[in-house]
Structure 1
Amino acid sequence: MVVLATKCYVEGDARSRALDGMGSMLDDDLGELSVEWTVGVRDDDFVSVTVEGEDATVARNLLRERWGEIPTDGRLTAGETYTGTLESWDDEGFVLDAGTRVRVPTSELGLGPGSPSQIRDRFGLVQHLPLRFVAGDADEPARLADAERDRLYEWSRGAGRVNVNSATRGEVRATVNRAGHAGDIVTVERLGLLEQSIVCAEGTDPPGLLASIGGYLPAELKCVIP
């Protein structure tokens, strides 16, 4: 079993749609391998995939590479890179969920000046967004991984984005189309199972796009303004 570093935290029909979407993605990723798989959701909302068959090892490695993995024993090795979901934030930093709570102090975010809330707003970090980090220990605190910092800074250099949680990629695409903004975006980039990033086209105003689609989505939406 591989516990993926992405959560399914919605309920009812939305949960069924999300898990159907996960099934389609697994079909795309693993369909050519000699494996059978089943999808589950742990009590802490992390998605798990049980894989069996001749190519099971290859399949598990593909899943780890695409989604990141939550250690099933909850243990993190100092200096190793993991993926956790953004659980909460306060004046002291971010708290990530990687099967165990991991605090990344403000000084170790590496995303420039400001409080954690200001940094979250500046980079459009919605709750539950998967973020890579380097585990710490008693002597060294955890920090955001260099690759994660690079990704977030790259967001701020583009044409702008609107990040969304609590919705599948298909739902976000449909919402953009329904609001009449299909021509104002480049793509919808998948960040997690229920976390998406709408990449704006040149000349599109991210706050304006957010205001237009916000009424259609029962979700948290945050802008990245270049």
Structure 2
Amino acid sequence: MVVLATKCYVEGDARERALDGLRSLVENAVGDLAVEYEVGLRHDDFPSVTVSGEDETVARNVLREEWGAITPEFEAGEVYTGTLEHWDDEGLVLDAGEEIRIPSDQLGLGPGTPDQVRTRYGLVQHLPMQFVYGDPNRLADAERDRLYEWSRGPGRVNVNSATRGETRATVNRAGHAQDIITVERLGLLEQSIVCAEGTDPPGLLASIGGYLPAELLCVVE
């Protein structure tokens, strides 16, 4: 079984739509392999994928590579993935099956309080993030590189509580299809709307915010 490092925290019909979408994504990832699989949801909102068959080892590795995996144990110096649960003056707290605190001096994302850093880089709640386990824990180099790349590239609007399809549909419904390049999937319910040149991310956020019951944060240069 692989426990995916992304959360399904919405309720009701939205949860069913999200899990249906996840099943499709798992099918796309491992459907050509000789395996059978079943998608479930743990009590802590992390999805699990039970895999069996001739190619089960390959399938598990594919899923870990695509989503990251929640593991029962950690080794110092190794990279893991957790979801952003909360933040305070002392740092960020990720959920990686247990709480992982990243102290503010181990973020490596420039000046400011953890909340200011979170806002500057568009770190919506539940965003999957990579960290290096240790004493202290720190953000992984690849994670820092990704976030710096966001701030240097075209503007973005990051959202949570919505699938990629729902986010795309919302942009279209608000009349902004021509103002974006794409919607990148960051997690099952966390997306990044990549703005086209000349599009103002705060303006896009204001326009689509009324359509999405979600947290939205801009990433601007």
* TM exceeding 0.5: yes
Q: Does structure 2 conserve the Cα–Cα contact (< 8 Å) formed by 1:5 and 1:84?
A: yes
Identify which of 88, 91, 94 aligns with 2:89. 91
Amino acid at match of 2:76: A
Runs of 4+ in structure 1 over 4 Å off:
none
Aligned partners of 1:163 and 1:222 also within 8 Å: yes
State the alpha-carbon separation in 2 of the partners of residues 121 and 156 from structure 1.
12
1:128-167 to 2 correspondences below 5 Å = 128-136=126-134, 140-167=135-162
- Kindly report the root-mean-square deviation, in angstroms, between the aligned alpha carbons of the 2 structures: 0.5
Does residue 169 in structure 1 map to residue 164 in structure 2? yes
Indicate which of 178, 191, 206 corresponds to 2:186. Answer: 191
**Counterpart for residue 113 of structure 1:** 111
CA positional deviation for 1:171: 0.0
1:56 has 2:34 as partner: no
CA contact (8 A) 1:7 1:45 kept: yes
Superposed CA deviations along residues 80-114 of structure 1, whole A, max 9, x for unmatched, are: 10000001000000000000100000000000000
Task: Output the CA distance in 1 between the equivalents of 2:213 and 2:201.
Answer: 18
Corresponding residue of 2:208? 213
Instruction: State the Cα distance separating 1:46 from its structure 2 match.
Output: 0.5
Matched, 1:33 2:33: yes
Contact 1:4/1:63 (8 A) holds in 2:
yes
- Which residue does the alignment assign to 2:3? 3
Is 1:21 the counterpart of 2:16? The answer is no
**Matches of 1:190 and 1:156, distance apart in 2:** 17
Q: CA deviation at 1:26?
A: 1.0
* Cα distance per residue 1:5-33 (max 9 Å; x no partner): 00000010000000010011111111110
> What's the CA shift for 1:159?
1.5
Residue in 1 aligned with 2:120? Answer: 122
Instruction: Give 5+ residue unaligned stretches, structure 1.
Output: none
1:6 is paired with a residue of what secondary structure? coil
1:65 and 1:207 mapped to 2: Cα distance?
Answer: 33
Structure 1: distance between partners of 2:124 and 2:93: 13
Provide the identity percentage. 76
Residues 25-50 of structure 1: per-residue CA shift (max 9 Å, x gap): 11111111011111111111001000
Distance 1:39 1:27 in 2: 10
SS, match of residue 117 in structure 2: helix
Q: Hey, what's the Cα distance between the residues in 2 that align with 1:115 and 1:37? A: 43
Residue of structure 2 equivalent to 1:181? 176
**Letter paired with 1:134:** V
Q: AA paired with 1:162? A: V
